[in-house]
Structure 1
């Protein structure tokens, strides 16, 4: 059975990695469809996104959109890459922490402008050039440290998931406010009968009377700093044993019985390092 374009993974990649496409002066085009879809999702959330609504916003028929993008899933991938292109020029100077923190804060600002990003769930979204460039830069912030390659990848993934988790809270709060017409502060402020029952919980009551909720910490700022504090401890630990780690994979090195100290843990790592240097 022939497979439609919506089910063709190669077609999705080609759409995302299109190079040098010129946007026509008039009529429908893929860039215009993607921009309209982003605007729609900004207004209504990802749940409100449909091919029909995008077509209505552009003044075209729904079927005309399918000549440019085969389905909603591919459109979401294109939208992701479009907004990730909003990242400003990444700083090339400074330590790993300053650079990683800067890119995390930029990602947070993008998610505040486009909260629907946090609603894109699952791991099977084809990355486009902007997404890969963003990920590559995040990896580069830690590549010069003594972290093992697997740890570099794990730290970047952890920071990314933290940003997404904070953004998801923002999405859910805004959704409830739109649905109910009541702000978060107003909703909690009208729960006096609940607060009257909290005296029986001593720790909660103590923190309440001590003003713990009077000036709450900014959850994103506090969480990001504490997260990076933990990474900094790991980086220092790895720095202390850098000479005992394989220069290629970061694994432990067995002491050399004599002569020069070992640099690689195995012949395979030595060959991989040689091939990488040879290939530039």
Structure 2
């Protein structure tokens, strides 16, 4: 049998072809090889950048601002990362942290709900993370460990790999979009509830006015799960999982029928 093990030079060539931030994030290359001996760690640089984001928002994240947070010169920071884009990629991966261990969850649906709830908790701690640009599919170890955790939860369903991946990606897209909307409109909901009754014609908008009168935008329907304070978000999450459950049940029934026909 031929030896499939890659030679060291071959592995090095493959590593060199990866984007710089990917090599750094996965420990395939040590940052700070240019200039004098390093004085801080890459982890501390990323931590400092997150401190800036927490205090001033994503728009404040520049190489100069992060360098100032560390008491460094901007040029010194370039010894660790080549560009602001690379730094933002490292920050994005660091904020979400390692993927969760969901082995104790009773079933795939409970596992995915907990997965989404924990993702919401990460976002709630650093909401400015939602404003970071998305330039490619996530390639950092933390982001990919979240994907791995979601796929592991769905493994017992027996679904095709494409279907499982689409479900996890669809779930995180829902979480990100709904979290961003919840954050952006949070401060406007009271104004919304006050203005609508003044501008809506009851004959033309009877159902919308009924929703206003029921307190839909009053903020009274508090989120007991604590994720971004948005009960609507969790309502939508549960309805998405309802659809997933129908899909998995249909797949399981079709597979059982196929097995019976073969027998």
TM-score bracket relative to the smaller structure:
0.7 to 0.9
Q: Helix, strand or coil for the counterpart of 2:172?
A: helix
- CA shift, 1:49, in A, is 0.7
Whether contact under 8 Å (1:86, 1:110) holds in the other structure is: no
1:11 partnered with 2:20 = yes
Whether contact under 8 Å (2:190, 2:217) holds in the other structure is: no
1:72 partnered with 2:72 = no
Q: Alpha-carbon deviations, 1:2-28, whole Å to 9, x = none?
A: xxxxxx74422211101798xxxx932
Unaligned runs of 5+ in 1: 1-7, 175-182, 246-252, 256-260, 263-280
- CA shift, 1:125, in A, is 4.9
Q: Would the alpha carbon gap of residues 171 and 27 (structure 1) be closer, same or farther in structure 2, given more than 3 Å must change?
A: farther
Q: Distance in 2 between matches of 1:99 and 1:30?
A: 33
Partner of 1:269: none
Partner of 2:40: 28
1:54 partnered with 2:78 = no
Q: Helix, strand or coil for the counterpart of 2:157?
A: coil
Q: Alpha-carbon deviations, 1:166-185, whole Å to 9, x = none?
A: 221244347xxxxxxxx435
1:158 to 139, 155, 170: 170
Q: What is the number of residues matched between the two proteins? A: 229
Partner of 1:223: 236
TM value normalised by structure 1? 0.72
Q: Alpha-carbon deviations, 1:187-217, whole Å to 9, x = none?
A: 446x55x522213322222333445445447
1:208 to 199, 205, 212: 212
Partner of 1:140: 152
Unaligned runs of 5+ in 2: 1-16, 31-37, 223-230
Give matches, 1:252-271, under 5 Å.
Answer: 261=262
1:99 partnered with 2:111 = yes
Partner of 1:131: 143
1:196 to 195, 198, 221: 198
TM value normalised by structure 2? 0.76
Whether contact under 8 Å (2:189, 2:217) holds in the other structure is: no
Whether contact under 8 Å (1:166, 1:220) holds in the other structure is: yes
Partner of 2:9: none
1:38 partnered with 2:50 = yes
Whether contact under 8 Å (1:40, 1:48) holds in the other structure is: yes
- CA shift, 1:143, in A, is 1.6
- CA shift, 1:92, in A, is 4.0
Q: Would the alpha carbon gap of residues 195 and 71 (structure 1) be closer, same or farther in structure 2, given more than 3 Å must change?
A: same
